[in-house]
Amino acid sequence: MGFFLQDLHQRITEMHTQQSETRDNNKFIVYRGQGMTPEEIEKIQTSQGGLLSFNSFLSTTLDEKVSLHFAEKAYTNPHVIAVLFHMEINPKISSLPFAFIDKQSTYKYESEILFSMHTVFRIMGSQKLKERFWQVNLALTSDNDEQLKNLTDYMRKELGEGTSLNKLGHLMLKMGEFNQAEEIYAPQLDSTDEKNWRKHAHLNNQLGYIYSQKGDYKAGLSYYEKTLKTELDFLPPDDSSLGVTYNNIASVQNSMGNYSLALSSYKKALEIEEKSLPPDHPTLATTCSNIGLAHKTLADFVNALSFYQRALEIRQTTLPPNHPDFGTIYSNIGGLHQDMGDYSTALKFYQQALDVREKYLPPKHPDLASSYANFGSIHSSMGDKSKALEYYEKAREIRELSLPTNHPDKANSYNCIGSVYHSMEDYSNALSYFEKALEIQKKAFPENHPAFANTYNNFGSVYSSMEDKSTALSYYQKALEIRELSLPPNHPDISTSYNNLGTIYSSMGNKQKALSSYEKSLEIKRTCLSENHPSLVTTYNNIGLVYQSMSDYSTALSFYQKANDICEKNSQLSQSDEAATTYNKIGSARHSMKEYSTALSFFEKALEIQSKSLNPKNRNLGITYSNIGLTYHEMNDYQKALSYYEKALEIEQKSLPDDHRDLAISYSNIGLVYCSLKDYTKALSSYEKALVIRKKKMSSDDLTIASTYSNIASVYHELNDCLNAVEFYKKAIEIREKSSSVDDLDLATNYNNIAVAYSSMDDESNALLFYQKALAIRQRKLPIDDPSLATIYTSIASLHYSMKDYSNAIAFYKKAIEIREKSSSSDDLDLATNYNNIAVAYKSIEDLTNALVFYEKALAIRVQRLPSTDPLLAPLYSISSQFEMRTWVARADLHADSSSMSMGTLIFTQADFLGSPVRVTGTLINLIPNTRYHGFHVHMFALLDGEWSCSKAGDHWNPYSTTFSSSLWKSFHS
């Protein structure tokens, strides 16, 4: 193919010379119609007055209708822009070769004129003829064009010495046309005598570069090693050519994942070049840049930046400011700053690289794809997913057009696009792109190449998001195995793998394995990153989250605070989503500690940052609204809680699919608030919306669905629809019995709740059955003095009482009282209730003494804790009076029957009169008719404020005095 190109160029030159002798040299216009990408036409529009070169032999026509036909044909493709070129040719000022070939052409009617490759035109202007149809006006450059002359001189120097064919091959390499370059170099190698070792070494080197750029690293390395062998045979050990070859070998070793070997080869190259080249030689810059890349890959960022800066300094002294090599070094430095968490500096260098490349490279050059991919990466890191996807797609389109089918850079594009789809929760698209990436990598790399780990890691992340934890764990473990085999032990990617394992173990409830994995991740990061590196924020927060889940809130807060300290020391981080996330986690821990005001202050700090930095529809903003709503709910400010929950729901409805799980969480939260507001109809509606989503998006035995069934059941119970309550409690229990452990406390709660519902339906046998199941779990899982045990003992006791099994009722009330007397304060109202209930049970078996004891204990607590008008006091006074009356009568009987006493004494205390004069009155009325008590003196002792007094007692008593005879009333004195 290369010989054909050379021959055609020669033929055009000969025809141009012959035809110029017979034709006039006046200006004329030629035309060309074709399709172009939107990016290409945009570049032409923004480059008016600049130069345009066609990358192939250029066919044009003198007949505008012919070119218009080709443009209209291109217009039928909706993905391209139709372009009609008007090209002004002035033979008097240009000697660039072109030929009239109408006689030689198959299509003689086309009046064809053929220009040689890379003919250069000046862009004179452009105009839009209609939608997706443009006219571009060009003029053939003159021989004296100063800009073209400077560019040509530079390109001659860049392409070096050698034959025209070799220069053409070199040009193809510069343009990224590797297949064409191979067609030029491969035949030469086959026909070159081995004695010509220099040419042999050169051609092997060129083919090594071609194959490595096409992603066939094994073949590329083979050609480079042949070059090295030849040069070592014929050159001194410090010859600069050896430095170039070592550089090339290192580059391929790096691409194959052999990072330590690559660094060793690069150092050999630098050692030779420092001896054989001046300190500002461009080759030294290339080697320094390569060593920087090797150090970056090995996470040695300090050395990496040092070598990158040295490379940049050399290039700034030796190259024009817009040389394409600056695109590479700017990209490298940008990538390093991104890895170091300095996104603004990274973005600045990426933009400098793109500016250079867009101006001086063809629109489909692979280096442009690299720049677009870098922008995709930085925007993804900054949370702008739509812009990240836009840049990644640009990179993919270029790579699809310019690279071989199985080139690793294509796999990189697929992985990047898949990751964005994952972040957008489009899991099917994400998995599809990851599969494409893996398919390419299996053909391009050895089985333990680090690139596989990245793809396996991506698979794991998606499956984790899809709640397929076991599959996710499998992929994360594969990624870790490969990284531990192929990377240094303290490489950040290994830390990432441990972090991922920690996350999946945490979601599976294995807190110890989660904590161990997170700690390994942290240990690695501390050895290879600065103490305030942004990625430490995530690790500290993750460790804190595990401790919080273990209810170790102080330790959790200590790790959250470390994350917060890093954020506050970094001006960018302090206003970033990472800082807001950290505030949210601190708030969550404080919330768990019931420090609601403090929690609220941290949630509001998070909201302040997010309100400034995030789109109003951003989901992280919704999370913060939910946290604030939850806190207000706990503070019993239900209207504010509802307001924030609804704000969270509004964001989620705008930014998420209708069946997204987070919507179900918001519906559940809103349902809880409506329950607290006793608006059970709205609560039921919200819970049902949550259930519809969860049944659609989760497996039928997911515990979250069980919780939703429980919530719905509780609402039906409040609405006195016990049949529906039991039905939904049964659904919840069915799921929990399948997927929970036999000691699961949530299962115990479900047993307890359905028992309450059965009790409300007077189904005492089922109620007792489920209370006993709940009790069995709680006895195994909780301390013997846990208050929830007292609650269930009380419930079982009450059930026994309703079944008239008073002895069991008393036994369970005693168990409840024993716990509450140990764990509650002496005036706890729940304890008072237990005292009252056991008193009722004793009354039922006619054990009046014990009944009175517990009634009075209940009354003592309630008198102390409740206002004097509280209705809970009245029945206790009434019941107590009945029992004390009988007790006092019993005392009187005792005195009357005593042979040693002539009269009895019935004593009433201050509390008797002040607490319930009715009670004393009733007792006396019952005594008066009984002649057995006529000989009694009735004494009333009223000790008020430390003094003997009857006045206050009399105030209580006087309204009832009409019941008694005046003589009896008079006897009430001390």
* CA–CA dist 680, 677 (Å, integer): 8
> For 367-371, 519-523, 707-711, 968-972, which range has the lowest pLDDT when averaged over its residues?
968-972
> For 6-20, 432-446, 545-559, which range has the lowest pLDDT when averaged over its residues?
6-20
Q: Which residues contact 114 (CB under 8 A, 6 or more apart)?
A: 12, 57, 58, 59, 60, 98, 99, 101
What pLDDT band is residue 826 in, cutting at 50, 70 and 90?
Answer: low
Q: Helical H runs in 278-365?
A: 282-297, 301-318, 324-339, 343-360
* CA–CA dist 541, 564 (Å, integer): 9
Residues forming a β-bridge with 938: 906
Indicate the pTM of the whole model.
0.57
The pLDDT, as a whole number, for residue 741 is 62
What pLDDT band is residue 150 in, cutting at 50, 70 and 90?
Answer: low
Query: Angle at the Cα of 397 (from 391 to 403), degrees rounded to 5?
Result: 125
The pLDDT, as a whole number, for residue 862 is 87
What pLDDT band is residue 823 in, cutting at 50, 70 and 90?
Answer: confident
- Among 254, 269, 251, smallest CA distance to 208 is for 251
Single-letter residue type at 142: S
- Other beta carbons within 10 Å of 798: 20
Write out the two tokens for 275: 């001896």
Task: Burial-class residue 543 by CB neighbours within 10 Å (0-12, 13-18, 19+).
Answer: buried
Per-residue pLDDT at 925 exceeds 60: no
Task: Specify the CATH number of the domain 614-698.
Answer: 1.25.40.10
Q: Which residues contact 779 (CB under 8 A, 6 or more apart)?
A: 789
Per-residue pLDDT at 892 exceeds 60: no
Per-residue pLDDT at 952 exceeds 50: no
The pLDDT, as a whole number, for residue 362 is 82
Per-residue pLDDT at 450 exceeds 90: no
List Cβ<8 Å contacts ≥24 apart for 516-523.
Answer: 518/542, 518/543, 518/546, 519/543, 520/495, 521/495, 521/496, 522/495
For residue range 660-700, list pLDDT tens digits in order: 889 999 999 999 999 999 999 999 999 999 999 999 988 88
- Other beta carbons within 10 Å of 527: 12
* 3-class state of residue 446 by DSSP: coil
- Other beta carbons within 10 Å of 150: 11
Euclidean distance between the first and the last CA atom of the chain, given in angstroms as a whole number: 135
Write out the two tokens for 285: 């810059």
* 3-class state of residue 60 by DSSP: strand
What pLDDT band is residue 844 in, cutting at 50, 70 and 90?
Answer: very high
The better pLDDT of the pair 825, 473 is held by 473
* CA–CA dist 98, 635 (Å, integer): 85
The pLDDT, as a whole number, for residue 885 is 52
Rounded (10°) angle between helices 661-676 and 619-634: 20
> For 102-106, 170-174, 222-226, 785-789, which range has the lowest pLDDT when averaged over its residues?
102-106
List Cβ<8 Å contacts ≥24 apart for 94-102.
Answer: 94/140, 94/141, 94/142, 94/143, 95/143, 96/120, 96/140, 96/141, 97/9, 97/12, 97/13, 97/16, 98/12, 98/16, 99/11, 99/12, 99/15, 99/16, 99/19, 100/15, 100/19, 101/15
Per-residue pLDDT at 90 exceeds 90: no
Query: Rg for the chain (alpha carbons), in Å?
Result: 44
Rounded (10°) angle between helices 366-381 and 324-339: 20
Write out the two tokens for 662: 């987070």
The pLDDT, as a whole number, for residue 52 is 84
Calculate the CA 603 to chain-centre distance. Answer: 19
Structural domain spans, the chain:
2-159, 343-444, 614-698, 900-970
Question: Do the domains 343-444 and 614-698 sit in the same CATH topology, yes or no?
Answer: yes
- Among 53, 71, 63, smallest CA distance to 120 is for 53
- Among 92, 98, 24, smallest CA distance to 60 is for 98
Residues forming a β-bridge with 127: 135
What pLDDT band is residue 864 in, cutting at 50, 70 and 90?
Answer: confident
The pLDDT, as a whole number, for residue 740 is 60
Pairing mode of beta strands 905-908, 58-61: unpaired
Pairing mode of beta strands 133-140, 81-89: parallel
Per-residue pLDDT at 936 exceeds 50: no
Cα dihedral 825→830→833→839 (10° resolution): -50
The mean pLDDT value of the chain amounts to 83
* 3-class state of residue 223 by DSSP: helix
Cα dihedral 141→143→147→151 (10° resolution): 100
Per-residue pLDDT at 647 exceeds 60: yes
What pLDDT band is residue 521 in, cutting at 50, 70 and 90?
Answer: very high
For residue range 711-754, list pLDDT tens digits in order: 999 999 999 999 999 999 999 999 999 876 656 888 999 999 99
What pLDDT band is residue 879 in, cutting at 50, 70 and 90?
Answer: low
In the 8-state DSSP scheme, what is residue 56? S
The pLDDT, as a whole number, for residue 151 is 62
The better pLDDT of the pair 140, 628 is held by 628
Pairing mode of beta strands 112-115, 51-53: unpaired
Write out the two tokens for 199: 């040419």
Q: Are the beta carbons of 326 and 365 closer than 8 angstroms?
A: no
- Among 665, 628, 632, 627, smallest CA distance to 649 is for 665
Fold designation for 2-159: Toxin ADP-ribosyltransferase; Chain A, domain 1 (3.90.176)
- Among 351, 356, 370, smallest CA distance to 416 is for 370
* CA–CA dist 34, 523 (Å, integer): 59
For residue range 416-441, list pLDDT tens digits in order: 999 999 988 889 999 999 999 999 99
Q: Are the beta carbons of 626 and 606 closer than 8 angstroms?
A: no
SS (H, E, C) 489-527: CCCHHHHHHHHHHHHHHHHCCCHHHHHHHHHHHHHHHHH
| CATH fit for domain 343-444, picks 1.10.443.10, 3.40.190.100, 1.25.40.10, 3.40.50.11540 | 1.25.40.10
**Stretch 70-94: mean pLDDT:** 88
In terms of residues, how long is the chain? 974
* 3-class state of residue 469 by DSSP: helix
Q: Which residues contact 559 (CB under 8 A, 6 or more apart)?
A: 540, 541, 543, 544, 547
The pLDDT, as a whole number, for residue 870 is 77
SS (H, E, C) 787-838: HHHHHHHHHHHHHHHHCCCHHHHHHHHHHHHHHHHHHCCCCCHHHHHHHHHH
Phi first, then psi, for residue 106 (nearest 5°) are -65, -35
**Stretch 330-345: mean pLDDT:** 88
* CA–CA dist 811, 797 (Å, integer): 7
Q: Is the dihedral of CA 421, 422, 426, 431 positive or negative?
A: positive
Write out the two tokens for 471: 């599959």
